[in-house]
Every structure is written in C-alpha cells, then in structure tokens.
A and B are shown apart, each in its own frame.
Chain A
Amino acid sequence: MLEERQKLTRRTLLSRGVAAGAAFIVGTGFVTGRDAAWAMELEHLQPTTMATLIQMARDIYPHDHVADAFYAAAVKGYDDAERAPIIETGIAGLDAAAQGAGFASYLATGWERDRVDLLRAMEDSAFFQTVRGGLVTGLYNQKAVWPLFGYEGESYSKGGYIDRGFDDITWV
C-alpha cells in the first residue's frame, strides 16, 4: 500500500477525490485516508464501498491506537473479482439500513454507537460473519500490528526468553 502511495502524491490524491465520511477520501479507483497517510488502488470494488468496509472493520474491532492503514490492509483482499459482488451487496444493505435509521449512509453517521447498532442488527448475516471472521486473522495476524499490543512474536532467533525476562515480573 505504501508503494502505491508513491505513485499518487498527497496533493493529487486529495485533489482528485471527495470526502467519504470523516475519515476517507475516495476518487476514481482509489480510497485514501484523510491525511493521505495510506492509499489503496481498487480494481473491482467501488471506492466508497471499500471506504465503508474499512469503517465497518474498525467498528467491529475498534482499537483507537491502531491506524486505519491496518484495517485497510485487513480487508484489501476483498477487492477481487470473485468476492467483490458479495461485498457490494453487503455494503449496499448496510447503507440501506443506515438510511432506514435516518442517516445519509453508513459513513455519514457521526457516533460509533449508531454504527454499532446497525451492525448488531445484522450480526447473524453471512455477510457480517464473513467480514468479522476474516478480520480475526486479517487484522490480528499482521505482524506489524503485534507490537501495538505488546506481543513480541518469534523468539527462537533471539535464544528464547531464558535470559530475556521469562520470569521478570516483580509485582506478585
């Protein structure tokens, strides 16, 4: 994703796109963060659909200390020919539910709790369960995410923890 960003400079990105909700800018074939810290080019999904999906991913597993780029990476795989139609239909359903609740779209809601209410109402659907289930590995199995939770990962190459604090807590 960061490589893609080099192709599209911050200024061109922002000038070629329009705001989608508070967090995203979408334009033809791309979605980016408001700060253009990351960007994703799309082949199959509508950019607004992807922006909504990224927001949905955050609302399912909200971690305020984890940047959007990680959520974007977690759902990027849905931009393929086979899976895009399911996502388009699912996100259309989510937007329809948002409109039913008086919002212009899912992304147009302000409070997280309004979006969570919409998600709770559809949590048994195959679409929701596919997205949620995929995130369990898509988000938490990203090695770059681990340090944000303190997890240290692989330890064999460092000789294990025998000399690196396997029993270092002193508060008990």
Chain B
Amino acid sequence: MTAPFDLNDDQVVVIIGTGAGGGVLANELAQKGVHVVALEAGGRHLPQDYINDEWDSFGQLAWLDARTTSGDWRVAKDFSGLPAWIVKAVGGTTTHWAGASLRFQDHEWKAATTYGPVQGANLLDWPIDPAEMAPYYDKAEDKLGVTRTGGRDGLPGNNNYKVFEAGAKALGYKQVHTGRMAINSADGDRVACKQTGFCFQGCKWGAKWSSAYTDIPQGEATGNLEVRDRAHVLKIEHDDSGRVTGVLYADADGNQHLQKARVVCVAGNSIESPRLLLNSASNMFPDGLANSSGQVGRNYMRHMTGSVYAMFDKPVKMWRGTTMAGIIQDESRHDPSRGFVGGYELETLALGLPFMAAFLDPGGWGREFTTALEGYENMAGMWIVGEDMPQETNRITLNHDVKDQYGLPAPNVHFDDHPNDVAMRNHAYGQGMAVYEAVGATRVFPTPPYPSTHNLGTNRMSENPRDGVVNKWGQTHDIANLFVSDGSQFTTGAAENPTLTIVALAIRQADHIAAELGRGTL
C-alpha cells in the first residue's frame, strides 16, 4: 500500500470528481500502477445508506449548491435554481442514473459531415472514429455488465414495459426490447435486479453499476488510489511555464489545502468542470484555464428531452420494477424527412407519486392536474432522449452576483432550444402519444423536460485547437498536463444516453495517460 499520499507529493495524478468519468479513470489508472488522489466534493454513501424515498434521497445525494438559469428553456421557469439534477457524492451521478447504456451510432461521431450545415448550430465532427472506439465500448460494456451485450441476458419486462412494448408493436416499431442496461439480469459480481423500482435513488441491492461501489473500491484495493471525500476543489494552480501544479480544495470543515500534482484531470460534470476552469483564471490566463479558444463553458447540451405519460382504464403500477428498462430505437436514425436532423430514443420511465406531482406538469393545479394524479395507478410512462444541437450561446458562465458557500461565483446555465430540438421534441411527443393510444390510453400527457440529467459539451473535443478545449485524448489543447475526463468533452451529444461513452472515453484516456507517464512526456 502506498496510499494515502502527501499533499506535497507532486508525482500524483489528481482527479476532480468520482462519477462516471472520474471514478472510472481513477480505477483504471490505479490498476496500471499510477498513483492517484481523487478529490470528491460529496460524501461517501453506499447501498446500505441509500433511501427508497424520492425526496429524502434527493436531499441525501443531489448537488444543491447555488446555481442560476437563463434562456427560453422551460426549466429556467419551472426550476430556476435547479438547472440540473446531478449528484454530489462519491460515485457522482452514477448513484442516481438509471443504467441505460447505449453506444453511439457510427454516423453520430461525425455530426457535421452527416447533417451538413444547420443554421445556428455549432456542429463539429468528433476527432475520433467509431472504429477506434469499438474496443473501448467492449471494455466499458464488460465493466458495467451491460445486458444484451457480451452474452448477458436482457432484463425481464415490468408492467410499464409491457404496456410500452404492446403499443410499440401495434405501431409497427421493430427495435423494441428491455434495453441495454448496466443492471445485472443474473447474479455475478453484482446481484441480479430485485425489481424494487428505486434505480434513481441509488440501488440498495447494488444490482446497478455505480462507480461508488465498484470502480472506487477496486481502485482503492490496489493501494494506488486515495479518495478524499468532502474535498471540494476551488481552483487549479499553475506555474510560470503554464503547466498546472496542483489544486486548492476545501475539506469538510472548510479548511483549505493545496494538493500538488503531476497531472490534473477535471471530471466534475459539465457545469462544474467549465466553472472550475473559469474560476481558475490568473494573470497568465485571464479568461480561465485552457480557454484560448473561448469555448470553455460553451456548447452546453442537455439532450432533447421530454416525457409522455398516459392513463389507462386499468392499473399499470409503473413504479414496480426497473425505472428505465425498455426502449424503442426505431426513431434514433438520422432521417431528415421527419423535419429535423439526428434522432431520438424512447425509453420507459416511472416516477413515484412525489416526483410525479412535481414533474408531470410543473406549475399545474386544479382538477386538470389532480384528476391526472388520481389516475396514478393506471399510468404508464416513457422518456424521450434525442440529440440536441450544440449552440455557442448555450453556455455556463460565472454569475458574479451569486456566490456559493466558498464565496466563489455560482454558475449560470443559459439554454435556448434550437428549432431542430423543438421539431424533434414535437415529433417524439406525437410518436410517444401514439404508442399509448395504440393500446387504449384514455388520456395522454406530453410532459416538459426535467432539470438536466445529461449535461454535456462545455469543454468540447476538437481536432483544431481553435474549435474546442480538448484534443482526442481529452487533453487540453493549451496545457499538456491538464485533462478533462467527463461528459463535458462531448463534441456533439448523439441520441443515446451518454454514460457508456463517458466510461469508454475514460478507459481510453487512462491508457493514454499511463503510456505518456511511462514515456516521461507528461
């Protein structure tokens, strides 16, 4: 055992955040013998601590530091202080996530080329090809134990899925199944899913993959990884040559420490990662670190989303069983004849009564609202997730009028829907409602987007340093020993839920960092 490491150990790799990106990177590097200090703003919560209660769990795990919103998206009106639903805990948002694990389609790596110019969209091809990613997707699927890949069986369909599948088939959809899920369908390293229905609240059985109880302890077991929880990074420091040298963080008691580093990897999710780079501005880098392109914080994407709930004359009890194990993939293709570029997925989704009251029709009241909730037992639900257009003006900026608990400017999240997003959402609402009407829905609810669960793109990857923040390895174009390791690297968002790709990129980045450290080039 070599961990724990000294604050003055300037040979360690410091990783900021321990979610999908940071947690996986930390373990992968530790497995290769690299010394890692992972700093996590949140505390350690494990399956025995998770709570089968929507609001109590939210209070336990969610990131609730000050944030503000602007733009024409409905979230800015409905949830002005909560632009995103993200976790602050060891394991990050992989404690809350539902586990849907899909690969990008090949053409989605090359959105600019495939879609051609789209007015107002800052489309760009990823500097990576699908062939290069394929072996990393294989590794990521094995790590997460994704169903319907690598010989693993699919999950059984719950009531919500049965309604969804019947509607989809009646409509003629062909690619309908219980999803590729990072949830065990059979006992293995993790137990098989017990269908408790609280996937969003942290899986108390540990059937769902989360870095909190897989990669993190695996990395710690090597002796090469030290995770400091309740360690909130405030600033990244650099020297006169422009290399980063360490990070300043506040511990649980608010005491500040400087951890030295040979390499720093930022994985705080797509709001905090650019905010940290911006908050680390110095005389040498007045616009923030790694921001010579001016793209830090820009091109914020959140996926085109929405939900469709439907009421039937008979019970569904959608809350029973997996929250999201069901998918229709037929609409994920790129087919501009539908009136938009890119595609979307339809995925089953269930909320408990407390969240349904908050999210079905935010701001709604009166009998139109209450009769809907009175049919809760007879409701089925699905979530829409599609590719949204990156726009330079959708961005994270520092709001100097609002400070967090450390006195640092809070992030403002600005988002306007692109006309392509609106057209796609309307199409998806239509199809989603048709699915349920095909099996006898008596009332349908095209429900507006929730606070963002998928936050992407704010430190985008680009071939040319002029166009983005990081190169194909997630290494910042400007500073060789500063990396970005989370979903903020995404050049474009694709139609699929992002986490499998975040994990595949982290595994690939670990190979690169370890190799460069070995060569002495970092």
A residues contacting B by CB (< 8 A) are: 60-63, 65, 116, 123, 132, 136-137, 139-141, 146, 149-156, 159-162, 164-169, 171-172
| Set of chain B residues within 8 Å of A116, measured between Cβ atoms | 366
One digit per residue, 1 when the CB lies within 8 angstroms of any chain A CB and 0 when it does not, for chain B 341-378 equals 00000000000111011100001011101100110110
Set of chain B residues within 8 Å of A149, measured between Cβ atoms: 353, 373-374, 376-377
Contacts of B357 in A (CB 8 A): 136-137, 139-141
* B377 lies within 8 A of A172 (CB): no
Q: How far is the CA of A51 from the CA of B352 in the complex (A)?
A: 30
Do A62 and B370 contact each other (CB < 8 Å), given the known contacts A153-B53, A160-B205, A169-B162? Answer: yes
Check B205 against A169 for contact (C-beta < 8 Å).
Answer: no
Provide the residues of chain B in CB contact with A168, threshold 8 Å.
159, 317
* Further contacts, 17 of them, CB under 8 A, given A151-B319, A153-B52: A62-B366, A123-B365, A137-B358, A140-B358, A140-B373, A149-B374, A151-B377, A153-B53, A153-B352, A155-B52, A155-B196, A166-B159, A167-B157, A167-B158, A169-B159, A169-B314, A171-B314
- Does B198 belong to the interface (CB within 8 Å)? yes
Bound form: Cα–Cα A171–B166 in Å = 10
With both chains docked as a complex, state the minimum distance between the C-beta of A98 and any C-beta of chain B, in angstroms.
18
Given A150-B315, A150-B376, A162-B195, A172 contacting B166 (CB threshold 8 A): yes
B316 touches A (CB below 8 Å): yes
Query: Shortest Cβ distance from B374 into chain A, in angstroms?
Result: 6
CB-CB contacts below 8 Å: B149-165 with A: 156-159, 161-163
Task: Evaluate contact between A160 and B194: CB separation under 8 angstroms.
Answer: yes
6 closest A-B pairs by beta carbon, nearest first, are A150-B377, A160-B194, A160-B196, A166-B321, A140-B357, A151-B353
What B residues does A65 contact at CB under 8 A? Answer: 374
Chain B residues positioned under 8 Å from A61 (CB to CB): 365, 369-370
A167 and B52 contacting across the interface, CB-CB below 8 Å: no
* A160-B161 Cα distance, complex, nearest whole Å: 17
A148 (CB) vs chain B CBs: closest residue: B374
Docked CA distance A161–B161 (Å): 14
Prevailing SS type, chain B contact patch: loop
- A140 CA / B247 CA spacing, docked (Å): 44
Among B52, B321, B370, contact of A154 (Cβ-Cβ < 8 Å)? B52
Is B190 in the interface zone, CB < 8 Å from A?
no
Is B196's CB under 8 angstroms from A161's CB?
A: yes
Are B157 and A162 closer than 8 Å at their CB atoms?
A: no
Q: What B residues does A172 contact at CB under 8 A?
A: 162-163, 166, 439
24 contacts between A and B (CB under 8 A): A60-B365, A61-B369, A62-B366, A62-B367, A63-B374, A136-B358, A137-B354, A150-B315, A150-B376, A150-B377, A151-B353, A152-B317, A160-B197, A160-B205, A161-B158, A161-B320, A162-B195, A165-B320, A166-B156, A166-B159, A166-B320, A167-B161, A169-B159, A172-B162
B366→A60 contact, CB < 8 A:
yes
**B: interface residue count bin:** 35 or more
Q: Which of B52, B161, B194, B197 has the most CB of A within 10 A?
A: B194
Chain B 373-396: CB-based contact to A (< 8 A → 1; otherwise 0)? 110110000000000000000000
Task: For A166, list chain B residues within 8 Å (CB).
Answer: 156, 158-159, 195, 197, 320-321
The reply on B262 being an interface residue by CB < 8 A is no
Closest to B315 in A: A169
Complex: how many Å from CA A39 to CA B358? 28
Q: Which among B52, B156, B315, B354 has the greatest number of chain A C-beta atoms within 10 A? A: B354
Q: How far is the CB of A56 from chain B (nearest CB, A)?
A: 11
**Is B193 engaged at the interface, CB distance under 8 Å to the other chain?**
yes
Query: In chain A, what residue has the closest Cβ to B203?
Result: A156
Measured between beta carbons, the chain B residues less than 8 angstroms from A169 are: 159, 162-163, 314-317
Contact present for A161 and B198 (CB under 8 Å): no
Interface status of B204 (Cβ within 8 A of chain A): yes
Residues of A within 8 A of B366 (CB): 60, 62, 116
Beta-carbon nearest neighbor of A132 in chain B? B365
Within 8 A of A (CB), among B298-333: 314-317, 319-321
Among B163, B353, B370, contact of A146 (Cβ-Cβ < 8 Å): B353
Known: A116-B366, A152-B319, A167-B162. A162 touches B55 (CB 8 A): no
Question: Per-residue 0/1 for B478-505: is the Cβ within 8 Å of any A Cβ (1 yes, 0 no)?
Answer: 0000000000000000000000000000
- Residues of B396-428 whose CB lies within 8 A of A: none
Q: Mark B29-70, 1 if CB is under 8 A from A, else 0.
A: 000000000000000000000001101000000000000000
Chain B residue nearest in CB terms to A146: B353
**Quick one: which of B448-501 are within 8 Å of A by CB?**
none
Residue among B159, B193, B198, B376 making CB contact with A155, cutoff 8 Å: B198
Cα distance A168–B159 in the bound complex, in angstroms: 7
Are A154 and B194 in contact (CB-based, < 8 A)? Answer: no
> Closest CB-CB distance, A65 to chain B, in whole Å?
8
A61, A155, A169: residue with the most chain B Cβ atoms closer than 10 Å:
A169
Q: A152-B319, A153-B53 known; A159 and B194 CB under 8 Å?
A: yes
